[in-house]
Amino acid sequence: MKEISAGGVVFYEENKNIQLLMIEDKSQKWTLPKGKTENGETYQETALREIYEETGVKGEIVKPLDKINYEYYQSIRDRVDKEVHFYLVRALTKDILVQVVEINNAKWLKPEEVWDKQINKGYPNNTVVIKKAFEVLGVNII
């Protein structure tokens, strides 16, 4: 089965300080907000909707970052081929309202904190996406 999702690396900049949004999922992993496409949606629309649904943060697409592919199993026999389209998203609002049904937490973090959570408590397939976002944003911590 094929599943297509979209999400984003959400950021805001204030006084030359960049903050990025990460979520903690139900497996206690820190990751990026994302979710499945709905009928008739573009990937960009999906990314913005999912970010808003999971975190309450409204945003606008700045540019595409990357597409990642991986597989997971819904059950022992049901393999899912997952494709996720990620975008760099500028936050238009900063207040967070966590959708507790799907995620445990959401936080604005400094780039150093994002990188620490990615390396120590994140999913390896998000590393390339975060690196690309850092490049575009001019963040040099790696």
Torsion of CA 103, 108, 112, 116, to 10 degrees: -10
pTM of the predicted model, to two decimals? 0.93
Q: Answer yes or no: is 142 within a domain.
A: no
In tens, the pLDDT along 52-62 reads 999 999 999 99
The domain in which residue 32 lies consists of: 2-137
Query: What's the number of domains the chain is made of?
Result: 1
Token pair for 104: 């445990």
Q: Answer yes or no: is 112 within a domain.
A: yes
In tens, the pLDDT along 4-54 reads 999 999 999 999 899 999 999 999 999 999 999 999 999 999 999 999 999
Residue 82 main-chain phi, psi, to 5 deg: -105, 135
